[in-house]
Structure 1
């Protein structure tokens, strides 16, 4: 699996590019950090329509970028960007909190247990009209925020400028990983590693390179990205929640 993703990344990368967009108007760019390459895509919630998708009108999980894209076309919308939006159960339903169009489809999960989701503290990525946020789960629960969209995942990568306390700089756990953070200017930054990396590496990228004081891990080896201007549409794994950026489709 890692070999497949590495080959795909190599085809997209070509020569290494450090913190530089592949085209002047691209929302996405390649970033080199600690010897690894990442794809980072930045969107402004004041201008870009960032939202979450889980199931179609019939309650069936979209499951793939293609299915979502085709569905949006029928509503005269174009899918400009998409990324897997958090962990999910075998039936592709969200593991933790999931809010869509202001409706809570799954409640906030504050339990303990095994796995990345419960490597506490975990957190919530939420979307409000004109703004986005990433917040640790207990802080979110106490905040009274009622977002338009939200997805819970874990662990948190960066919490108010500090790294998750469980991360090790010399960890031997190397996996494809992706996450979301909020930059100092309030923009949403989505990142997918192009090769296996440590949690610590991803966290330092968000905080020290991408200026995110809060960042959340979305998932590991199933990390998937849709960037049509790069002709990239990952489809190796079924997906649960999807974070997408849409626009009105041209006539």
Structure 2
């Protein structure tokens, strides 16, 4: 009986994991949309191994994670030594402070934002609004630019932009119960990804996580994107 219950639980997990990520076509571009349901799943951020060295890979992440992994992605920009560029909180401990000034590159293309995970909810919050009234995040990562801000596209995005890259991002529903982690399956513009969040997923706030280095790990899809060593990684597991 115990063995049968274990097999059933494993089958249910496999079915749930398989349904977590699906392919969506938008503006003639293919995206993989992975859904985290905060009522039944946990979202965590991971940076280092127990010895203090960066995890860097999905293989190392899997070895360091006790619960079955539904999916994982790179989760924000990082320096050459893989330290996060902006705010980074892991299990309630602030590793890096928030950065609110404008600067070079995508991160400094204000407004940028923060993914904040609390008990039972996830939110994407514009960085200066976050800094003015910081919520008690158990997990948080800062990146930029914002893709969608209060239902509006980032003002610097152009429909005919020539800059197309593999990109990934995150957006959350207004009640914080669902988080959509998206990775493009082919090069896309900021505008294409942002309109996917606004017009297809119906998200009012969404955040760009990174481009070119973007990678997805989805065991049920037998997908583990190769690439360079990562900094912060977001992992979704069943409770």
* TM-score (ref. length: structure 1): 0.86
1:141 paired to 2:134: no
How far residue 148 of structure 1 moved from its aligned partner, in angstroms, is: 0.3
SS of 2:114's partner is strand
- Aligned mates of 1:23, 1:127 — CA distance in 2: 21
Q: Match of 1:97? A: 87
Matching of residues 132-171 of structure 1 within 5 Å: 132-171=122-161
How far residue 24 of structure 1 moved from its aligned partner, in angstroms, is: 9.7
Q: Match of 2:116? A: 126
Matching of residues 23-172 of structure 1 within 5 Å: 26-72=19-65, 76-172=66-162
Q: Match of 1:9? A: none
How far residue 235 of structure 1 moved from its aligned partner, in angstroms, is: 2.1
Q: From the superposition, tell whether residues 91 and 24 of structure 1 become closer, same or farther in structure 2 (CA, over 3 Å).
A: closer
- Aligned mates of 2:17, 2:233 — CA distance in 1: 26
- Aligned mates of 1:238, 1:225 — CA distance in 2: 13
Residue 213 (structure 2) aligned to one of 219, 222, 225: 222
**Which stretches in structure 1 are left out of the alignment for 5+ residues?**
1-21
1:201 paired to 2:186: no
* TM-score (ref. length: structure 2): 0.90
How far residue 185 of structure 1 moved from its aligned partner, in angstroms, is: 5.5
**Which stretches in structure 2 are left out of the alignment for 5+ residues?**
1-14
- Aligned mates of 1:119, 1:99 — CA distance in 2: 22
Cα deviation digits, residues 170-194 of structure 1 (max 9, x gap) = 0011111110001356300000001
Q: Match of 1:13? A: none
**Displacement over 4 Å in runs of 4+:** 22-25
Deviates more, 1:164-173 or 1:238-247: 238-247
- Aligned mates of 1:24, 1:49 — CA distance in 2: 13
Residue 237 (structure 1) aligned to one of 214, 228, 236: 228
Q: From the superposition, tell whether residues 38 and 77 of structure 1 become closer, same or farther in structure 2 (CA, over 3 Å).
A: same
* 2:20–2:70 contact (8 Å) kept in structure 1: no
How far residue 25 of structure 1 moved from its aligned partner, in angstroms, is: 5.5
- Aligned mates of 2:153, 2:203 — CA distance in 1: 11
- Aligned mates of 2:155, 2:90 — CA distance in 1: 31
* 2:116–2:140 contact (8 Å) kept in structure 1: yes
1:175 paired to 2:168: no
How far residue 246 of structure 1 moved from its aligned partner, in angstroms, is: 2.0
- Aligned mates of 1:25, 1:226 — CA distance in 2: 12
- Aligned mates of 1:185, 1:231 — CA distance in 2: 31
* 1:153–1:216 contact (8 Å) kept in structure 2: yes
* 2:121–2:175 contact (8 Å) kept in structure 1: no
- Aligned mates of 1:61, 1:202 — CA distance in 2: 29
